[in-house]
Structure 1
Amino acid sequence: MDITIRRAAPDEYAALGEITAQAYLGDGLLDFGESDAYLGELRDVAKRAAAADVLVAVADDRVLGGVTFVPAGGPMADIARTGEAEIRMLAVAPSARGRGVGEALVRACLERARTVEGCARVVLSTQRSMHAAHRVYERLGFTRTPERDWNPFPDLLDLTLITYELTL
């Protein structure tokens, strides 16, 4: 399969939003199913694209997955500090999993980070149950940073996100 990674086009936003939402739902990563408020964020690719770089993986004119690359802080950053870029909302369609799509998307983010002035590392948050993603991150050289683990909803849920970083 010949995969192309590039910036998402507006006519791909709906497809990528649905892939992202369904990846999180299908993997049991949202506690409230379709009523989970975070689903709206996952589906709102236009909002992400206005504040960060949204990349898609495409093969045969079909969107296979995507990722949000936050080059240097801004409204889309969750944990990035000065000198860090952040990877968010990595998702691959179930039919494309196991074909290197996720790894290609992460590699594209790393390539972009290397072109960002003053960027020394790439960081990300992930759920403990995302084992396939953890394997990709570790294979690419990311290391765990348990001191940065955090809960985005401390008053609502016991949802500690684990963190990784890669020094460029």
Structure 2
Amino acid sequence: MSEEQTPVIVRSATADEFDAVADLVDAGFTAGPYGHLPVTAARRALQRDSAGRAASGALLVAVDASTGALLGTSSLLRSGTPASRLAVGDEAELRLLTVAPEARGRGVGELLVTATVDEARRWGASSVVLDTGDLNHSAQRLYERAGFRRVPEREKSYEGTGIGWSLVFEFALESATG
């Protein structure tokens, strides 16, 4: 089996991986459509705070089953926690999903989205919400393929920052009790 076809495992990050996850988030977002923009100190702190995101919900990683290399990560946050900015009530929030530039095209993003939604379902969340920039077309396609729908009434503009619009998506979950 070639390296591109080795299985990918999604699991919770371990504390000894937190620095590597932070590096992965930095690299993934730098290689994205907004990588040319300056990163604010608050954004840099959020990207580097793997431990805080893990404590606020779940910090997932996708790893190559053969080598153990980190290929991607996502954070699932409970509403009202420090890194959550959209989730209210019993919603869960997906943040900072990224795939290492060299691992893109392997389906890692889809695996992370599925695992994140499954984790929110285990929590009993009513839905998973997220936002992404209007220029991040690959992320928008990924979320739409996974069954998320846009929620324009929750979107906002970051005019003058180079980001443009923040598009909000939601994945409604069935009740965990019914």
- TM-score relative to the length of structure 2: 0.83
1:12 maps to 2:17? yes
1:54 maps to 2:59? yes
Distance (whole Å) between structure 2 residues aligned to residue 6 and residue 71 of structure 1:
18
1:65 maps to 2:84? no
Distance (whole Å) between structure 1 residues aligned to residue 110 and residue 84 of structure 2:
21
Does structure 1 conserve the Cα–Cα contact (< 8 Å) formed by 2:33 and 2:135?
Answer: no
Amino acid at match of 1:112: E
Equivalent residue number for residue 26 of structure 1: 31
Does structure 2 conserve the Cα–Cα contact (< 8 Å) formed by 1:71 and 1:116?
Answer: no
Equivalent residue number for residue 107 of structure 1: 114
Larger mean CA deviation between 75-84 and 92-101 belongs to 75-84
Equivalent residue number for residue 161 of structure 2: 157
Percentage of identical aligned residues: 37
- SS where residue 128 of structure 2 aligns? strand
Q: Based on CA coordinates, which of the two structures has the bigger radius of gyration? A: 2
Deviation at 1:39, TM superposition (A): 2.2
Does structure 2 conserve the Cα–Cα contact (< 8 Å) formed by 1:92 and 1:101?
Answer: yes
Amino acid at match of 2:122: T
Does structure 2 conserve the Cα–Cα contact (< 8 Å) formed by 1:122 and 1:167?
Answer: yes
Q: Return the match for 1:3 from 5, 8, 12.
A: 8
Find runs of 4+ consecutive structure 1 residues off by over 3 angstroms. 30-33
Amino acid at match of 1:66: T
Does structure 2 conserve the Cα–Cα contact (< 8 Å) formed by 1:72 and 1:84?
Answer: yes
Equivalent residue number for residue 133 of structure 1: 139
1:82 maps to 2:89? yes
Distance (whole Å) between structure 2 residues aligned to residue 103 and residue 134 of structure 1:
12
Amino acid at match of 1:62: A
Deviation at 1:11, TM superposition (A): 1.6
The alignment covers a number of residue pairs equal to: 164
Deviation at 1:135, TM superposition (A): 1.0
Does structure 2 conserve the Cα–Cα contact (< 8 Å) formed by 1:57 and 1:105?
Answer: yes
